[in-house]
Every structure is written in structure tokens, then in C-alpha cells.
Structure 1
Amino acid sequence: MAGKRRQFGRVRKLPSGRYQARYVGPDGVLRPAPHTFRTKRDADAWLADVQTEMRRGDWHDPDAGRVAFGDYASTWIAERGLTTRTTELYRSLLRLHLAPAFGAVAVADISPAAVRRWRADRLGAGVGASTVAKAYALLRAVLTTAVQDQVIRRNPCQIKGASTPPTPERPTATVAEVYAIADALQPRYRALVLMAGFLGLRWGELVGLHRRDVDLDGQAVRVRQAVAELTNGQREIKAPKSAAGKRTVAIPAVIVPDLRWHLEHFAEQGAHGRVFVGAKGAIPRRNHFNRLWHKACDKAGVKGLRFHDLRHTGNTLAASTGASTRELMARMGHSTARAALIYQHASAERDRLIADSVSALVSRSRRPSGAREKDHGSEGHAGDTEG
């Protein structure tokens, strides 16, 4: 009696004795299994799985993942609509850290084990943890898109926390240190330091300010743009990092006289005149200013402080006032609550220490006078005995 004709796919026995399975995909192309099978039953089982995937709509073109990772990642970067600075960073990470290991590898062939091995090799070669984390984050983002494009089924980047390495806690300058550094710098940069330390503005936001952005009567600064320095030495005027970055930040009244004096002596004239310019009338460059910054820190006796750390001072002071998470987010220019919560947590810990100290003072003050006298008497008696 003739056997029942197969409804899906074909199986044939090869001269080697192994079995080959083939099927017609949704695209009408006859496709073989990626490997042969020891038994006909194994080949039938594989075809059954493929048929189930097709019925569920889970079928993926097995050839789609054959694209080389380097080509796919380059296209991914080009299509994201990123800023020039971010594009430079991603291309650098791809060229220096990802392409040597995965550039010629098919996207579908990148396995979790290969990713783990790559990361361990990078760290073992002495590459900084922060750089490896950025490269891993880029790899994961590219492969997440590959999953969405149905090029691969699952993202092989599965190392928990690999894209966010632990970072050492940065120092927070005190109010006295901020003023000491400001006084040690050239007068034209004094207001720059005070605004960074007490408003929490970023370098790029500060050097991107124009006169029209600074309202001393209303005691507010409007952040509309930022200046980004590219690796080729060019500078790019761009919008802040996020929509939340466009914001109005209130100026503490105590530094208004300093800002007024700066505008009178160093800022360019006119509403569109730049607030901060170098001695030769150009926008200050970060590398040049850093040399002045380090000299000023040494003169002020402040060690290990970066200019960006002044932002931590401003945010910490704001958090210590009891500002809400939403208020801190608005002042800092963040679209998520993560950073604001960090500063609030630090402020809460400090407040807890203060409360504990107050509690100890109150407890000592409320002890009955008799108990205090008894304690003094017992101490005196013990002393007499020892004498």
C-alpha cells in the first residue's frame, strides 16, 4: 500500500546516509534546512517546527541574517538621524572595537557566547570599562533593530548591566571652593564658573549663551542651544540633548552682581552678542580652558575636580532645598527622573545625618537633672575608690 504523501516539505536520503529536509517558504523559495539529520524522524520533526512557525507568523527568512554585521551597523548609524558628535562617537566605536571582532561576521552568527568573549577580551586588553560599556551598548542597540527587522530572532547581548559600568563617585565642590576657583581664574571666566556651580549648566550650554538669553532683572537664564566640539576641531551649534534641555533656569540673586559686571566688561554687545568669549573674541575651546582650569584648581588647593563636576554642586544645592523630582528635572534639563532621584537620595542621606545629630542633642538635653547628677556622683565615687 502506498505511503501517505507529505503535506509540507520534502525529505530525502543522501548518499552519505543522512537526511536532508527542504520546504517552500512564504516567499515561494525552496529552502533547505541549515544542516542534515541523522534520521528521517529528526528531519520530519524539524519540518513540523518550521510549519508551526509559518502558521503562527513567526517564520523568519534564514538568509536575512547573512548580512555582515559591519555593513548592517554602518547603515544603522547612517539612518538614525543622530547629531554629528554622536555619529562620530558611534563610528569610532564601530571601527575600533566592534568591527575587528564582528565586522565580517553574519548578524545571525553572533552568539551570546561570542559577545561575552568579545567583552572579556576588550577588558582584558586594557580598554577602559566606560569605552567597553559604550561599545556594548551600541552593539546591543544595533542588534535590537535586527530583531525588529526580523533579521534575527533574539538579541545575543544578554549581559546584565554591561552597558552601564560602575562609575567612581565624582567630587562635589563646596561653595567656598567654587568661589576660590572662580577668583583664581582670569576675570573673564569668573562668571562662567559661578553659573556652572550654582545653576548647574553644562559647558556647551554656557558657551552657547547670548545676551538675549540672560535676563538679570528677571533673574533667569534661557537655555536655547549648546555648542558641541567635534573630534576634527570644528564646532557645531545644536539644540540641547533633549527637549527638556530647552529650559529657563532661575539665577540665584547672590551672583547677579557678578553676572552684571561680566556682561559690562566681557560679553559681546547686542542681543545676539555672545556672553562668553575668549581673549581673542572667539568661543572658548574646552582644551584651552582646561589648562586654565587646572592651574586655578591648584592655586585654590582643590584636587581632582573637573569643570563638569560643578554641575553636581549646583544640582546638589538645588536638591538640598527640598525641591521635588519634577522641579529638579526641569532645572537640570533631564527628561527622565533618574538623575534627579540620585541628587534627592544624596540630599536625603545628608538630612538623615543632620536629624540623627539633632536627636542626640535633644536626648542629652532632656535627661533628668537627677540622673545626670547621679552619673556624676557615681563617676566621682569610682574615682575615690581607685585613689
Structure 2
Amino acid sequence: MGTCYLMKGRENAAKPYRAEWYDFFSKPGKRKIGGTKTFATLREGNRWWQDMERENAAYFRGETRVRSCKFGAFATAWADDLAYSENTNKSYRSNVRALIKHFGEETPVAAITAADVRAMKADLKRRGRSDGTIRVRLVVLNKLMQAAIVEGLRSDDPTQGVERPAEVRHRARIVTLDEILQVVEKLDERLRAPVLLAWYTGLRIGEVCGLHIENLNLDRARLQIVQIMFQDGTERVGAKNGRDDQWVGLAAQIVEVLREHLRKFPPLPSGHIFSYVGRDGSLKPLGQAYLRRHFRKACEAAGLSGRMPKFHELRHSCATYLAENEASAYAIKALLRHSRLDTSQRYIDELEVDQLLETLDRVHGAQSGEPAEPAELAESAELVAA
């Protein structure tokens, strides 16, 4: 609507006043009538037109769209557009469904307040949810609100000012060289090479299962990360961070292991290097679930002390082994293909703290004749670090 004319009409005695309005987008000289409406009094017509002008201005400012955008539809569309890994997308969608269930599918995006967010946090605590669950839920809601701000659906983020539970990082269970050799002895011959490859190179489980023969060059002692196999058996071309030029160097020991594996177990027609014998007796590409399950059983059979390691912790073990042998953070970053240097530096920092605690243990033990308490060692380490 653009221009409105209120005039005295003749065709309706009960409502003698008529409003005519014209389209905003009509060409000059060819104005197209948008519609007509009749009123009993001139004041009634003026009030109606003022309301129409306010609604029209609100529409072009986006306020009408803001009021009509429902949280359920917006959050679902946002989660469907995510382009992370399979497991990450699955986690995001699960948290989005929980948020929709809490706030309501028909609630406008702009109507969610900081008080609503605090109420959600209190409700999760009351239901006995862990601090980690509450933190992830708030992080996902924060990302949703940031996307809503970008889309112009709201001007502020209601999660700001709502304190998140502190993130607790559990140290990885490091598998030593002696332990990995004990585990390998308990594995089927077909599974020994992929486990050793993960320990020596720090490959992720999807990268191990998705390795093809055309991406392996044993003469030059390196392999290329091209395919990644997901938990459901599907494959994606391209490394985790989207790069397709990721080459990984191979130590002489793992080169010999792979040569022996290929001599005993040739690649499948599909090109997969690692395989297993299915229940029907046919060879199938090695999958994540199968490898994880048999790795866990081998760890239990080997009688490893402490907590049983997860397969991904072979990657952490590789980085720790490099740090123990005085590899630089840049070397660890290059082999494990970290996107940030501080991720690689963390392994060196943790090793230095462990070495410091061992030194303090020896010093205090020599002075007092007995080992120091762990709390005292930790306090001493903090004082030295300061």
C-alpha cells in the first residue's frame, strides 16, 4: 500500500465514507488500486488507515516477521543446516529437540528472555542433569540466539549473563608402547595393523576405517587422508577439516606392519585396506563399531591396569609418546593435523607438569624419608608454576 484517499461515497448510506489505496509498486501514471473499504464516519476511516500504516511500516522493518517466527521451526531449520561431522550434528539436533520441548514449538524466537534461560537451567538441575549436560544445552542455545540475531529476529542474546557450569576436562587414558603390544597380541590378525596404525600415527577411527589402497604410499612412507568412514558405514570424501591435501608420515615400524598386513590380507575390490569376516563368511570393510568392540575386548583380555582406554585415546597416546621423546609442538601439530598450535602444546604442558610432580616427589621423599601427599605435591607445583 502506498497512497490512501478517504472520500464521500454515494452507494452506501449506512457507511458513506470510502477508502481507496494504491499499490506501492505501481508504475508512475499507472497506479493500480489496491482495494477499497467503507466506514460509517470519517474518524473511523482515519483510525483504520493509521493502523494500516503502522502495520505496513512494521512489515518493512521486519517486526512482523519477528513476531511470527516460531522457535520450533527456526531451531529445527538451523540444526538441519549444520555441516559438522555426523556425531556432532546428531548431538546438536538432540539438544535442539530438548530446547524446543522446554520453550515450546510455538513460542516466538523474540519472546525468550534471560529469565526463561535461568528457569531452564534451574529445571535441568532439579531433574538431576549433570553440569556437562547443562553446559552443552546453554552453549547450543547461545549459538541459536546468535543465529537469530544475525537473521534479524531479535536484538539481544538472552543467554548472556547466565553462568555456565565450569568445563571439566578429564585426562585421557594414555596407552604406553608396552601396553599396546599386549593389546595387539589379543587381537585378531586382521585388526592388529589398524590398531597399531592409530597408535603410531594418531589417525582417528573414521580415518583408519576409510583408508584406501590408492591413498597409501609405502615406498615414500606416507598416506593421504581422503575418505572418512562414519559409524553407519557411509563414507565422506575429504578430511575432517575439509582439506583434501592431508598427508601423514609413517614410521619405519608401521610401514613394515602395513606391508605384512597387505601380504596376508589383500585390499578389498572397493579399495579398503582393512576388512573383517562377516557372519555370512564374506569380507566386509572394517567399520567403527566392529573395531571399537574388539579393541575394548582385547584391552580387557590384556589385563590393562586402571581405566580401560577408548579407541580415540590412541590418538592422545601418540601425541604423548611424541612429547615424551622431545618432539616440538609444531611436529605434533603436523602429524596429528591439529588446526591450532595450542591443542598440540597441551600435550607438552601436561608432560612437563607430570615430570615436575615426579621431581617434587623424589625431592620431598628424600628429605622426609617418605613420599609427599598428592595434595602437597599439587600445591608445590602451583607455587613453582607461579
Structure-2-length-normalised TM-score: 0.69
* Separation of aligned partners in 2, 1:30 and 1:300: 70
Q: Is residue 277 from structure 1 mapped to residue 305 from structure 2 by the alignment?
A: no
Moved more, 78-87 or 148-157: 78-87
Q: How is 1:240-279 mapped onto 2 (pairs within 5 angstroms)?
A: 240-243=239-242, 246-268=245-267, 273-279=271-277
Letter in 2 for 1:200: G
Determine which structure has greater relative contact order: mean sequence separation of CA pairs < 8 Å that are 6+ residues apart, divided by chain length: 1
1:346-384 deviations in Å (ceiling 9; x for gaps): 133245457779999xxxxxxxxxxxxxxxxxxxxxxxx
Partner of 1:100: 101
Report the CA distance between 1:195 and its aligned residue.
Answer: 1.2
Task: Give 3-state SS (helix, strand or coil) of 2:259's partner.
Answer: helix
Q: How is 1:83-232 mapped onto 2 (pairs within 5 angstroms)?
A: 85-95=87-97, 97-102=98-103, 103-158=105-160, 162=164, 165-229=167-231
Aligned-residue identity in percent: 25
* Separation of aligned partners in 1, 2:333 and 2:354: 20
Partner of 2:321: 317
Match of 1:349 among 332, 349, 353: 353
Partner of 2:339: 335
* Separation of aligned partners in 1, 2:58 and 2:225: 60
RMSD across aligned C-alpha pairs, in angstroms? 3.3
Task: Give 3-state SS (helix, strand or coil) of 1:282's partner.
Answer: strand
Report the CA distance between 1:281 and its aligned residue.
Answer: 1.7
* Separation of aligned partners in 2, 1:160 and 1:283: 47
Aligned pair in 2 of structure 1 residues 129, 211: CA closer, same or farther (>3 Å)? Answer: farther
Report the CA distance between 1:130 and its aligned residue.
Answer: 3.9
CA contact (8 A) 2:187 2:298 kept: yes
Partner of 1:68: 70
| Aligned length in residues | 308
* Separation of aligned partners in 2, 1:30 and 1:243: 42
Partner of 1:29: 57
Task: Give 3-state SS (helix, strand or coil) of 1:167's partner.
Answer: coil
Report the CA distance between 1:291 and its aligned residue.
Answer: 3.0
Unaligned runs of 5+ in 1: 1-21, 32-58, 361-387
Structure-1-length-normalised TM-score: 0.69
Aligned pair in 2 of structure 1 residues 205, 98: CA closer, same or farther (>3 Å)? Answer: same
* Separation of aligned partners in 1, 2:138 and 2:324: 36
Match of 1:306 among 282, 298, 310: 310
Unaligned runs of 5+ in 2: 1-50, 365-386
CA contact (8 A) 1:245 1:334 kept: no
Report the CA distance between 1:262 and its aligned residue.
Answer: 0.9
Report the CA distance between 1:119 and its aligned residue.
Answer: 2.6
CA contact (8 A) 1:210 1:274 kept: yes
Report the CA distance between 1:211 and its aligned residue.
Answer: 1.5
Aligned pair in 2 of structure 1 residues 266, 75: CA closer, same or farther (>3 Å)? Answer: same
CA contact (8 A) 1:134 1:163 kept: no
* Separation of aligned partners in 1, 2:131 and 2:295: 26
